[in-house]
């Protein structure tokens, strides 16, 4: 397992309540930096790392056994480095995996409209908007990662995404300068 300092490229975690723009920003960061985009939800679905589906919320259930299988599967990738990882929850990922954690935040009315446009049930919309109001994902990130690597970014407009993309690109170039490629 490569230590953080031995990775040739950093790992970035992009998280936030569903509908905050994780996919949009993650894919843009991957394109701009040549890091590999990894949607954890897709891995869970494709590899069956879940214990069924919650019909009420139309979401896969990630129990402890499923989390363990997922983490075992991702460990070699994260140890090697070079990933932009997207997921809406962060409390089970090892802290050592990430060099930067971005928590996307969206105003409630914008978030409500985005989730409604996706066809989410009123209960699922209410649950996610409430989670955003209560800063659930931001709190998880602050509790699980070093303060200096966690950054909350507004994600209400395409201009917000562009600004965040610029900030992450600058951070990425600084990281590369501070961590010359190893052997």
Give yes or no for residue 5 having a pLDDT over 90: no
Give 174's pLDDT tier (boundaries 50, 70, 90).
very high
- Give the single-character DSSP code of 145: S
> CA dist 15 to 133, 134, 160, Å?
15, 15, 15
Residue 72 lies in a domain: yes
CATH number at residue 21: 3.40.50.300
Kindly state whether residue 68 falls inside one of the protein's structural domains: yes
Domain presence at residue 183? no
Structure confidence at residue 182 (pLDDT): 52
> Is 2 part of a structural domain of the chain?
no
Write down the pLDDT at residue 151: 97
182 inside domain: no
Query: Which residues, in sequence order, are CB contacts of 44 under 8 Å at separation 6+?
Result: 50, 60, 62, 66, 70
The answer to whether residue 179 is domain-embedded is: no
Q: What is the pLDDT of residues 70-122, one digit of tens each?
A: 999 999 999 999 999 999 989 999 999 999 999 999 999 999 999 999 999 99
Per-residue pLDDT at 64:
84
In the chain, what is the greatest distance between 2 CA atoms, to the nearest angstrom?
53
In a domain, 1, yes or no: no
Asked if the structure places residue 173 within a domain, the reply is no
Q: How confident is the model at residue 123 (pLDDT cuts 50, 70, 90)?
A: very high
Give the count of domains, the chain: 1
Its pTM stands at 0.92
Q: Could you give the strand order of the β-sheet that contains 100-105, starting from the edge strand earlier in sequence?
A: 36-39, 83-86, 12-16, 100-105, 150-154
Sign of the dihedral through C-alpha 24, 99, 97, 17: negative
Range of the domain at 115: 11-168
């Amino acid at each position: 397992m490569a230590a953080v300092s031995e990775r040739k490229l950093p790992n970035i975690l992009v998280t936030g309540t569903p509908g905050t723009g994780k996919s949009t920003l993650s894919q843009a960061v991957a394109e701009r930096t040549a890091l590999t985009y990894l949607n954890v939800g897709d891995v869970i679905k494709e590899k069956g790392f879940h214990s069924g589906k919650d019909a009420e919320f139309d979401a896969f259930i990630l129990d402890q056994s499923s989390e363990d299988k997922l983490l075992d599967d991702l460990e070699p990738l994260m140890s090697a480095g070079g990933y932009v990882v997207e997921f809406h929850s962060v409390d089970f990922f090892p802290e050592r995996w990430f060099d930067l954690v971005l928590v996307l935040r969206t105003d409630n009315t914008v978030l409500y409209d985005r989730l409604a446009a996706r066809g989410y049930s009123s209960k699922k919309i209410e649950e996610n908007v409430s989670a955003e109001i209560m800063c659930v994902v931001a709190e998880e990130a602050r509790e699980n990662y070093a303060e200096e690597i966690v950054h909350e970014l507004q994600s209400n407009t395409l201009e917000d995404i562009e600004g965040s993309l610029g900030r992450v690109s600058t951070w990425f170039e600084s990281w590369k300068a501070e961590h010359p490629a190893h052997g």
